[in-house]
Amino acid sequence: MKDAISILRQCDIQPTPQRIAVVEYVLKCKTHPSADDVFTHARKNCPTVSRATVYNTLNLLVEKGLLGMQTIREGAVIFDANVEKHHHFIDDDTGDIYDIPWDQLEVKGKGKLKDFEIFEFQVIMHGRRKKK
């Protein structure tokens, strides 16, 4: 992955130490973290970063399309470094959220929904991940 500074520059966001700390964690994170998760981890590299700055940076990244945001978990929005279209599987035992590649599932019948103009959609699955 490109380094945080280049990514920020490319989107016309000034690369400050606080923003770099947020970006370095959240854009390579595979765990669908909450804002508070990001805050905790960003603090390790930048101990003075504030909650407000974390929220501001996350919202900025989402606006710029560098970061996804999902409202599939109770209590807090989660952020998603994977900005390609994909589905989600939620392990109800552990709370872990897994990405399901877009082409693994096909949703048929959307054309029949005459009253609705669909901008985007995804399949949300709940269950348990099989231990291998």
Partner DNA sequence: CTTTCACCTTGACATTGTCTAAAATACTAA
Partner DNA sequence: TTAGTATTTTAGACAATGTCAAGGTGAAAG
Instruction: List contacts with DNA (CB under 7 A).
Output: 13-14, 16-19, 34-36, 46, 48-53, 55-57, 59, 74-77
Q: Which does 80 bind (CB under 5 to 8 A by kind): Zn ion, its own copies, DNA, none?
A: Zn ion
Q: Which does 19 bind (CB under 5 to 8 A by kind): Mn ion, DNA, Zn ion, none?
A: DNA
Is residue 121 at the binding interface for its own copies, with CB under 8 A as the rule? yes
- Provide the 3-class DSSP secondary structure of residue 98: strand
Is residue 73 at the binding interface for its own copies, with CB under 8 A as the rule? yes
CB 126 within 8 A of CB 117: no
Radius of gyration of the chain (CA): 17
Taking CB under 5 A as the criterion, the residue among 60, 99, 122, 123 binding Zn ion is: 99
Closer residue to its own copies (CB): 7 or 33: 33
DSSP 8-state assignment for residue 27: T
Q: Which does 37 bind (CB under 5 to 8 A by kind): its own copies, Zn ion, Mn ion, none?
A: Mn ion
CB of 34 to DNA, least distance (A): 5
Largest CA distance in the chain: 53
Tokens of 126: 């709940």
Cα–Cα distance measured from residue 73 to residue 97, given in angstroms and rounded to the nearest whole number: 9
In order of 55, 67, 69, 86, 113, the CA distances from 102 in angstroms are: 28, 17, 17, 4, 21
Task: Catalog residues that contact its own copies under the rule CB under 8 A.
Answer: 71-74, 77, 89, 92, 98, 100, 104-110, 112-130, 132
